[in-house]
Amino acid sequence: MPTDDITQKVSDRYARAASTGEQMCCPTGYNFDDLRSFIPDAVLKISYGCGTPAGLDTVQIGETVLDIGSGGGIDCFEAARRVGPTGRVIGIDMTDTMLEIARHHTPTVAANLGFPQPNTEFRKGMADAMPVDNASIDLIISNCVINLAPDKRKVFREMYRVLKPGGRFTISDIVSDQVVPQYMVHDAAKWGDCLSGSLQVQDYIGGMVDAGFRAVHQIKSGAWQSIDGVHFLSVTLTGYKLPNAVTKEAPLYATLCGPFSTVTDELGQQYRRGVPQPIDAQSAQLLRSAPLRSLFLIGPAPITLATGDPRWCAILPEQAPCVWQGAYAILAGPIIAAEDDDHHQYYRGVPLEICSKTQHVLTQDAYRPHFTIYHRNANVVEGNAVSCSPEGICC
């Protein structure tokens, strides 16, 4: 289907929904009782999405926030409350009906928040050609919109262009666990349903990294629905446009603490738990980012960890038979590859079938933030407990 046709059909679908009150199918997590205290019902009833990117504690006072695909304005208005009267929020959308509704209610929201004047504006534009200045945004949010763009890599490049060095994004979207088949891709109705445009997890995150973002990782995730064997997941992701590294810093060393036995970062550098490794300024900057700093010790002297060191982190499966229950794990943390203590190899965005023992390991606190776990089985599995290998090693 031609790109222009996709864009027009999606725009028409959302314009129709705004006019008729049609409920779109994506999962949401809004606290409408809270939002109703300052956002009019006319906005709330046409609010679609698959997460709450503005509702997370990522929006700071005084920041400039950009919402890609702002719709009726719900996420912009929530961000406006969080940045306060000294901050600024810009919403962009391609649908005139949505823009009209958002602009109409902007003064009301500002008054309800007690602001002397609105701190929110709405611009007409496309996600892959945003009417926003270079390096002018502190935080980008988006809620189940990039999924609808035919050329997502172009969107990611635009995001990188408009962010300030040190800026970040928090976006919610629908992704798939495998390639969406062509009959879905060419189904116009399923584009508006957040299905046809879904990328596999590894392609979605990979496109962000290729655009220049680093430390891309999930904040939360959950299964949405399965159609013809394709599983669609709702994910909220964060990543950073890191500033230029300070190259004059003294030589540094990094030691992986765990829980992984090995990891490979987005720069392609591999680390083994407990073994210090020299790193350059760029690697140091990456490993010090919020989602990675808890995994490493970084300093001017090499630090070797032994298994008895309290900073050493390893989580082993119980030594007992396991059960295959249809569970799959997807590495969605800020690393591109990793290995656990049972020698499972994880590659970011690639589903791996796991047994009950491995699932228990990956749901422990140290591992949980880095994985999405979902089930492919449609019915209850009645398999017997088995030994994963003759040596008793899991899987």
Domain ranges of the chain: 3-240, 246-314, 315-395
| Domain 315-395, architecture per CATH | 3-Layer(aba) Sandwich (3.40)
For residue 62, what is the DSSP state?
T
Per-residue pLDDT reduced to its tens digit, 71-123:
999 999 999 999 999 999 999 999 999 999 999 999 999 999 999 999 999 99
pLDDT value, residue 381: 66
> In degrees to the nearest 10, what's the CA dihedral of 131, 24, 46, 155?
-10
Q: What is the pLDDT of residue 15?
A: 44
pTM comes to 0.89
pLDDT tops 70 at residue 16 = no
**Residue 24 · residue 48 · CB < 8 Å:** yes
11 has a pLDDT exceeding 50: no
Q: pLDDT digit string (tens) for 134-149?
A: 999 999 999 989 988 8
CATH of domain 246-314: 3.40.5
Q: What is the pLDDT of residues 345-363, one digit of tens each?
A: 999 999 999 999 999 999 9
Angle between helices 96-113 and 3-20 (to 10 degrees): 50
Q: Is 16 exposed, middle or buried (0-12, 13-18, 19+ CB in 10 A)?
A: middle
Architecture of domain 3-240: 3-Layer(aba) Sandwich (3.40)
Identical fold for domains 3-240 and 246-314, yes or no, is: no
pLDDT score for 382? 66
* pLDDT of 3 above 80: no
What is the pLDDT of the chain when averaged over all its residues? 89
Cα 338 from Cα 259, distance rounded (Å): 10
